[in-house]
A and B are shown apart, each in its own frame.
Chain A
Amino acid sequence: MARGTSRLQLACVAVAVALGLTACGSGGIKDNPSGASGGKDCGDLRIAVNPWTGYVSNAHVIGYVAKTKLGCNVTYPDVKEEVGWAGMASGSIDTIVENWGHPDLVKKYIDEQKSVEDAGPTGGKGIIGWYVPPWMAEKYPDITDWKSLNKYASLFKTSESGDKGQLLDGDPSYVTNDEALVKNLKLNYKVVVGGSEASLIQSFKSAEKNKTPLLAYFYEPQWFFSEMKLVHVNLPKYTDGCDADPAKVNCDYPEYNLNKLIAKKFADSGSPAVDLIKKFSWTNDDQNIVSTYIAKDGMSPDDAAKKWVDANPDKVKAWLG
C-alpha cells in the first residue's frame, strides 16, 4: 500500500515537472506571415527532384529562395525525369529545374499536349560522355581517343562483361546511347549497368585508389570533379542530327543547354514562384559548390542552399527583381 502511494506521488511529480518544463519553453507559436513579396500568395510549390546531386542543388536553392523570400509552401517530390514530366502533365508536379534534352518528351508534352512549358535555361552546360580515372589517362595517354579503346578492351574485362571490356552505365533513367554507340563504333565492349550516380562515383573512387581500370558513363556539371579530375574519352565529334536515329548513333553526346520546365497549369496560376523559376540562372561552378556541400560535406540540401544563398545575395536578387 505504502509502495503504491509513493509511486502515485512519483507520477504526480513527473507530470508536474513535465508541465513546468513546457511552461519555461521558448515562446508561443505565431501564424506564418503569408506572401512576403507583398504580391499574391505563393501557395504550394512542388519541385520535382531527379536522382543526381546537381539537380538537388538547383531544386533546393530555388526552393529555399521561394520559401524564405516568397513565403511558398515548398515540397520536393523525388521522381525520375520521365515521371516528373508526366507529373507536370497530370498536375502533381509544378516544375523540373534541370532538364537534359529529352526531345521525345519535349515533342509529347510541350509540342503535342501543351501541358508543359519551357522556362528557360539554367545557365548550366551539360556534358555527357565516357570517362576514365586520372591514373589511366596518365598511364595510357592515347586512351582518351575512342579509336584506341579496342586495343585496351581486355584491360576493362570484369566478371560482369565476360570476355569483352566493360562500359559502366548509371541510373536507368539517364539519357544514354551507349549500347548503340558500342555497336555502331564496333567496339569490343559490353554495357554493364551500375545503377546510380552513387555507384558510378564509388566505382571511380575505388578504381583510382586500387589503380584498377574503369570506363564509365558520367556527366558534368558534377561536384565529384572537384574531388577527382576524371578524363573524358573523345568519341567522334557531335554533328547536328548525327543522333537523330537512336539505333544509328555513332557520335559523341551533344552539349546540353540545361533548361527548366514548368507545368502549364502552374504557369497560369500567377504564383510569384513562376517568375523566380523563369529568372533562375547560375553556372556549373555555382552548382558544384552547393553539390559539394551536400554530397561531400554531408550538409542537408536546405542548409547547403542557405549557405550558398547567404554568400551570393546579388545573384539571388537578380532572380527576384
Chain B
Amino acid sequence: MSTATAPPPAPPDRTASASKEEQPYVELGKKRHTGAKLAGIGIFWLVMWLVFHNQMTRALGLQDTTPFHEWLNGIRDWVQLHGPDNWFFGGVLGFIGDFFNAVFEFLQKLVSIPAFPRPVPEIGWLGVVALATWVGWAVAGLRSTILVVVTMLLFGVFGLWQDSIDLLLVTIIAVVFCFVVGLPTGILMARSRATSAVVTPVLDIMQTMPPFAYLAPVALGFGIGPTTAIVLTCIYALPPMIRITEHGIRGVPDTTIEAARSLGLTRGQMLRQVQLPMARRTIVVGINQSMMAALSMATIAALVNGPGLGKDVNAALQIQNIGAASVAGILIVLTAIMLDRTTTAASERSESMGRSGVASVSGPGVMLAGVVLERLPRWATEEAGKGVRQPRLTSAGRWLVRGLWLIPTLVLVYFSRQQLILAQFPTRDDWPFLKYIDGKTVTKLVNDFSNWFIDKVDTFTLALKNDLTNWLINPLQNLLAESPWWTMALVLLAFAYVLGGWRPVVTTLVCEAIIFGTGLWNDTMITLTMTIFATVLVMLTAVVLGVAMGRNRRADTAIRPILDAFQTIPPFVYLIPALALFGASRFTAIIAAVAYAVPIATKLVADGIRGVSPTTVEAARANGSTKWQMITKVQLPMSRNALVLATNQGLLYVLSMVVIGGLVGGGSLGYIVVSGFSQDQLFGKGLAAGIAITALGVMLDRIARYAAERYGR
C-alpha cells in the first residue's frame, strides 16, 4: 500500500469520442414573458381609452366621403367616359370581356337558353343529362354518375334548369381558364424559386382579399354581366389551382427525380414523363378546389348580374322567401357536391389510372366486362400481371368501351333536339306527378316549416342576441372603435411585435397606413371587433368538435360529411337562417361567419389531433393519463401547429363572411362596399372599403402567421 496519492485518472474525453454521430447544437430556450407583455399593452390601452374616450376615432358618417373617395370617383367617371377608347380598358379588358362573353353565349345557346330562332336550346335537357352522365361515368365511375343524374334531374324538377346550367357553365369556363393559366404557372413556380418568390405574395393577397373587395373594380373594368362573373370567379378560384399544382410537382419525391436524372432525362422529359404523371392526382385535387371556390362565388357574382343560381338566392333573400332561397341554395349545394365527388373520384381513379380493368370499366362497363372483354381486339386487353386474375383493358381498350357508350348518349342528344318535352324540362302541367316534388312544393314546405320554427324560437334567439351583444360585443367594440386611432395603431403594432417579432410589425405598420389613408379607420375597427369575436367562437367550437373527431373515429364519420356539406354551401345561404333567427344585426353577421368558418377550422384541428403520434398517446396512456389529461396535456399541445393554422384559416374565412354580413346588419366595411356599389357618389368610398378590408386581412394573416411560426413549433 502506497500512501502517495496517485493522480486521478483523467476523465474520458466525452466530447471527442462519445459518439461518432454528429451532435446537434444545444438549443438554449429563451423565456418570452408573452403574458406579461400582453397585460402591459392591455393596461396602456385601457388607460388611453378612459382618457380619450370617443375622441380622435376617425368615425365617418354613412353618406360622408373623403377627398380620397372623391378622387376614386373621378377615376370611375373617367373610365366610364373614356374607357371604350382606351387601349387598356377598351382594348385589353374589352377583348377579354368579349371573348368570355362569346364563349359563354355560345355554350348557353347550346344547352341553356333558346337558340334563336329555335324556342329551345340546341341540346335539350335529356341530351345534357345524357352527356353529363357519360362524362361522369367516363372519368369517375358509377357512384358519381348516379349523383350526376339525380342532381341534374333536380335542376329541372325544381324548375331552375336554366339557371342551374348557367351556373355550371360559368363554373366550367372559369375552371378551364384557371386550369389553362394555373397549370403552367404552378409548374413554373415549382421549377423556379424566383418565379415562386414573385408569384406567392400575389397569391397571398388574392386569397386574403375578400371577394367583396374586388367586386367594384372588376365590374368597373368589365361592365356587368357574365364576363364580370367569370372574371370574379377566376380571381377567386385561380390561387388554389396554382398552389396545389406547385405543391403537387414539388411533392414528387426527390429520390424519384434523382433516379430519373440519372437516366439522362431532359427537363421536358422530366416534366412530361415523371412530374406531371406523378402529380396528376394532386392536380385533380387542385381542379376540385378550384371548382369549389368558383361555386362559392356564385352568389357574390350575382350581385353584378352574374348568371346562374346565385341570382335566385339573392332574389329570394330580397323578398325574405326562405323557401325559395333554400331551393336555389340546395341546388347550389348539390352542384357543389356533384362536382366535388366527381372530381374526387376522378382523382382517386387517376392515381390508379389503368391499374385494373375492373375499376375502370366499373359501373355500366361491368356489363360489358364479362362478355365482351374476350371478344375485344387484342390491342384492347392484356394480362394483368401476377396475382391479378382478370385480364384488363389497355388504355386504348378503355376508350373503346367508352366510345361504345357514347353511341346511346348521342342518340339521346338527338332525340332531345327533336322532341319539345325532351328539350324543355317538363313542369307539373306536363307531368302531374311533379307537383309532389317540384320547386314550388319544396318552397312551400320550407317556408311553412321555417315560419313555424321561427315563431317558436325567435323571442329566445332575439334575447340571446341582445344579451351577447350588450355584454360582449358592444364592450369590445367600444374598446376598439372608441379609442383614439393612434392608440389602436400602437396597440396593434405592440400585439404584432409581442406575438410575431419585428417582421409582422412592418406589415402591420404598412397596413395601418393604408387603412388610415382610406379614411375608414373607425369602420375597420368595428369590422375587426366582429372578426375577433367570431374567430373566438369559431375556435371554441372547432376545438370541441375537432377533439371529438380526432379522438373518435365514429364521431368523425358522423361529423365529417356534415362539415363537407357546410363547406360547399355558398356563403350567402348561411345568411338566410341567421337572418330569420337573429334579425338584422352584427350578431347575425357573426353567426353566419361562425357557421361559415367552423368546418375548415374543425377539420384542421381534427387532423392535428389525429396527427399526434400514436406512440406518444400510447406512452401517455401507459403513464396513467386520464382522458382529460390526455387531451389537455398531450393531444392539444402536440397539435399546436394545427391549432394555429386553424385559427389563421378561421380568421380569414370569418373576415370574408363578416363583410358579406354587411348585407344583413353587420354594417361597417361590408356595408360600405355594397353601398359603394349601389350609390353613384359612394363608389369611391366603397372601393376604399375594399382596400381597407384587404389591408385588414393581410395584417391579421401576417400577425397570425408569424405568431404561428413562433409558437407553433
Contact = CB atoms under 8 A, between A and B. Distances in A.
B370 A80 contact: no
B469 to A, nearest CB: 3
A4 B370 contact: yes
A180 B318 contact: no
Nearest to B439: A300
Interface in A229-276: 246
B465 interface: yes
Interface in A177-220: 177, 179-180, 191-199, 201-203, 206, 210
Given A25-B420, A32-B118, A195-B665, A53 B319 contact: yes
A137 interface: no
Interface stretch (B346-354, B408-416, B532-540): B408-416
A159 B587 contact: yes
Given A10-B367, A80-B678, A173-B678, A192 B667 contact: yes
B495 interface: no
B94 to A, nearest CB: 11
B419 A5 contact: no
B223 A3 contact: no
B91 interface: no
A310 interface: no
Interface in A33-55: 34, 51-53
B665 A8 contact: no
A29 B469 contact: no
Residue from B422, B671, B680 whose CB has the most chain A CB atoms within 10 Å: B680
A102 B7 CA distance: 105
A319 B306 CA distance: 31
A105 B680 contact: yes
B435 to A, nearest CB: 14
B367 A198 contact: no
Interface stretch (B40-48, B320-328, B385-393): B320-328
A75 B589 CA distance: 33
Interface string B302-345: 10110000010011011111011000000000000000000000
Residue from A53, A79, A210 whose CB has the most chain B CB atoms within 10 Å: A79
Residue from A10, A53, A105, A198 whose CB has the most chain B CB atoms within 10 Å: A198
Contacts of B321: 198, 295, 298
A5 B440 CA distance: 43
Interface in B447-490: 447, 458-459, 462, 465-466, 469-470, 473-474
A295 to B, nearest CB: 5
B158 interface: no
A1 B370 CA distance: 6
Interface string B74-117: 00010011001000000000000000000000000000001011
Contacts of B587: 159
B421 interface: yes
Given A78-B314, A191-B62, A202-B320, A159 B444 contact: no
Contacts of A30: 119
Interface string A52-69: 110010000000000000
Contacts of A138: none
Given A194-B584, A195-B663, A80 B677 contact: yes
A196 B317 contact: yes
Contacts of A92: 223-225
Given A180-B63, A210-B459, A195 B421 contact: no
A196 B459 CA distance: 22
A208 to B, nearest CB: 13
A159 B469 contact: yes
A293 B142 CA distance: 44
Interface stretch (A11-19, A120-128, A148-156, A277-285): A11-19
Given A1-B371, A15-B408, A29 B417 contact: yes
A193 B667 contact: yes
Nearest to B477: A162
A160 B680 contact: no
Nearest to A201: B320
A171 B63 CA distance: 14
Contacts of A300: 159
Contacts of B126: 22
Contacts of B408: 15, 18
Given A8-B371, A203-B583, A108 B680 contact: yes
Given A78-B311, A86-B80, A246-B63, A29 B423 contact: yes
A314 interface: no
A298 B224 contact: no
B366 interface: yes
Given A25-B421, A32-B117, A298-B444, A198 B318 contact: yes
A294 interface: yes
Contacts of B584: 168, 192-195, 199, 202-203
Nearest to B681: A104
B367 A159 contact: no
B120 interface: yes
Given A193-B667, A202-B320, A77 B305 contact: yes
Contact of A51 (B81, B318, B665, B675): B318
B219 interface: yes
A160 B587 CA distance: 9
B305 A78 contact: yes
A289 to B, nearest CB: 16
A227 interface: no
Interface string B662-693: 11110100010011011111010000000000
A52 B678 CA distance: 13
B323 A4 contact: no
Residue from B224, B473, B579 whose CB has the most chain A CB atoms within 10 Å: B224
B223 A87 contact: yes
A5 to B, nearest CB: 6
B243 interface: no
B269 interface: no
Residue from B61, B219, B319, B417 whose CB has the most chain A CB atoms within 10 Å: B319
5 contacts: A4-B366, A19-B415, A29-B120, A87-B223, A295-B319
Top 8 A-B residue pairs of the complex, sorted by shortest distance between their CB atoms: A4-B370, A173-B678, A172-B675, A159-B469, A198-B320, A7-B367, A22-B415, A194-B584
Given A171-B678, A203-B583, 20 more contacts: A3-B370, A4-B371, A5-B370, A15-B408, A28-B420, A32-B119, A81-B678, A83-B678, A92-B223, A92-B225, A158-B466, A160-B667, A173-B678, A179-B62, A193-B584, A195-B665, A195-B671, A199-B584, A206-B462, A300-B159
